[in-house]
């Protein structure tokens, strides 16, 4: 070791990738996000458990809409995503994620629909005499 090199502390806290200017959420924003998440989970749960809407396809669409809103709430309040220019790559990742989620949800619904129509034959149920 040279005499000109400063000593290196091997156990120091260096915050690589976390500059001091990066703002994290406050307790208030986390509580707002948590409250919105609870409400956005409780309403679809209530819709299914109470049978408030008779048409199951409409109930499914409403649940998917609530899920999409909840994804946005999580991205804003917990992942701290916004439209600032500093987060350009984050926005690109967000767009990619949205496309993948839409493909996964649409594909899952398509597969489940065809499984039900192809695997569940219609039975003529005649009550026993």
Q: Is residue 72 part of a domain?
A: yes
Q: Is residue 34 part of a domain?
A: yes
Mean pLDDT, rounded, of the chain: 81
- Over residues 68-87, the pLDDT tens digits come to 899 889 988 988 887 776 77
The whole domain housing 90 covers 84-119
Q: How many domains does the chain have?
A: 2
Joined tokens for residue 14 = 């260096």
pLDDT at 54: 92
Q: Is residue 64 part of a domain?
A: yes
Q: How confident is the model at residue 125 (pLDDT cuts 50, 70, 90)?
A: low
Same domain? For 75 and 115 the reply is no
Question: Closest Cα to residue 29, out of 77, 74, 70?
Answer: 77
Joined tokens for residue 47 = 């819709």
SS3 content of the chain, % helix, strand, coil (to 5): 65, 0, 35
Same domain? For 67 and 112 the reply is no
Three-state SS letters, 9-49: CCCCCCCCCCCCCCCCCCHHHHHHHHHHHHHHHHHHHHHHH
Same domain? For 55 and 98 the reply is no
Same domain? For 89 and 69 the reply is no
**Whole-model pTM?**
0.60
- Over residues 8-35, the pLDDT tens digits come to 555 655 555 555 555 677 899 999 999 9
């Amino acid at each position: 070791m040279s005499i000109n090199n400063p000593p290196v502390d091997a156990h120091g806290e260096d915050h690589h990738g976390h500059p001091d200017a990066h703002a994290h959420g406050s307790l208030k924003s986390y509580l707002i996000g948590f409250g919105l998440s609870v409400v956005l989970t409780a309403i679809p749960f209530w819709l299914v458990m109470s049978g408030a809407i008779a048409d199951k396809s409409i109930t499914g669409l409403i649940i998917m809409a609530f899920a999409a809103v909840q994804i946005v709430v999580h991205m804003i309040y917990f992942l701290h995503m916004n439209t600032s220019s500093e987060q350009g790559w984050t926005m690109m990742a967000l767009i990619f994620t949205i496309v993948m989620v839409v493909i996964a949800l649409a594909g899952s619904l398509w597969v489940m629909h065809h499984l039900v129509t192809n695997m569940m034959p219609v039975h003529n149920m005649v009550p026993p005499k």
